[in-house]
Structure 1
Amino acid sequence: MKPVASVSLDLDNLWAYLKTHGDPAWERRPSFLPSAVPRLLDVFGEQGLTTTVFVVGADAERDDGAEAVAAITRAGHEVANHSFGHEPWLHRYSDDELAAEVARAEEAITAAGAPRPVGFRGPGYSVTPQLLHVLKERGYRYDASVLPTWIGPLARAYHNRTAGSRDDAADLFGGFGKVKAPNEAYRWRANGLVELPVTTMPLFRVPIHGAYLLQLHQVSPRLARGYFRTALGLCRAGNVSPSLLLHPTDVLTATEAPGMEFFPGMAVPGHEKVALLEWVLSSLRRHFDVVGTGEHVDRVTRTRLRERDPVACG
Structure 2
Amino acid sequence: MKSIDPKDFKVTAPIQLKDIPTDLNNKASDDDKEDKLDNVREKLSELQDVMYAHNRYGVLICLQGMDTSGKDSLIREVFKEFNARGVVVNSFKTPNSTELEHDYLWRHYIALPEKGKFAIFNRTHYENVLVTRVHPEYILNENLPGIEKIQDITPQFWEDRMEQINNFEKHITQNGTIVIKFYFHMSKEEQRKRLLRRLENEEHHWKFSPGDLKEREHWDEYMQYYEEAINKTATENAPWYIVPSDDKDMARYIVAKIIWEEMQKYTDIKEPELDDKVKMNFAMYREQLKE
Query: TM-score normalised by the shorter chain: which range applies?
Result: 0.3 to 0.5
TM-score normalised by the chain length of structure 2: 0.38
TM-score normalised by the chain length of structure 1: 0.36
Normalized per residue, which structure has more helix? 2
Q: Highest CA radius of gyration, 1 or 2?
A: 2
Bigger relative contact order (CA 8 A; separation at least 6): 2
